[in-house]
Amino acid sequence: MRIKLDDSCLVVVDIQEKLYPHISEHFQMMRKCRTLIKGAFELGLRTIVTEQYVKGLGHTIEEISELWDNFQSIEKMSFSCCGEAEFMMKIEEHYTRNIILCGIESHVCVLQTAIDLQEAGHQAIVVVDAVSSRNDDDKMIAIERMKQEGVRLATVESILFELAKVSGTDQFKAISKLVK
């Protein structure tokens, strides 16, 4: 299955102030997410950001939210993004088959979202170097579970080049600079 730009959307899951510092290898994960988001912008990929229980976990970290001129997010209480009606409306208003996921935590919100997207008829793609959990074992088991559920796995570089499709374009040159 090829992942095509015109049938894909990126979802940035819950990279929030109070949880982020406790995430394993959080700085590397944040850098990969920034590269993925910047690449999505270069490619014109629609992007949705979620925030879990803002009152308790704070807002999206500045290193992520500053990438948008007019940052907007969807607040949710459900661990799965699919449990939030506004999220599902955004996903379905411009139906895309492939939903690319990055963020935290791998074993809770990312996992439950991926499974629910699969169940709703979408193809979830988890960018493994752009997700993390507080505990490495939780991430490892979550990735294994996702594979069992039919979720596709990718890395930041592989997904961006797959979406770009060809070399020699301005988009390809921009993506090449981002991943170096």
The reply to whether 180 belongs to the active site is: no
Task: Indicate which residue of 76, 82, 116, 139 is catalytic.
Answer: 76
Specify the DSSP class assigned to residue 16: B
The reply to whether 33 belongs to the active site is: no
SS (H, E, C) 38-91: HHHHHHCCCEEEEEECHHHHCCECHHHHCCCCCCCCEEECCCCHHHCHHHHHHH
Cα(44)–Cα(154) distance, rounded to whole angstroms?
A: 19
C-alpha distances (whole Å) from 122 to each of 82, 83, 138, 151, 174 are 11, 15, 24, 10, 28
Task: Indicate which residue of 9, 109, 116, 129 is catalytic.
Answer: 109
The reply to whether 14 belongs to the active site is: yes
C-alpha distances (whole Å) from 161 to each of 4, 14, 67, 112, 150 are 11, 25, 21, 27, 22
Task: Indicate which residue of 14, 32, 33, 139 is catalytic.
Answer: 14
Catalogue the active-site residues.
14, 76, 109
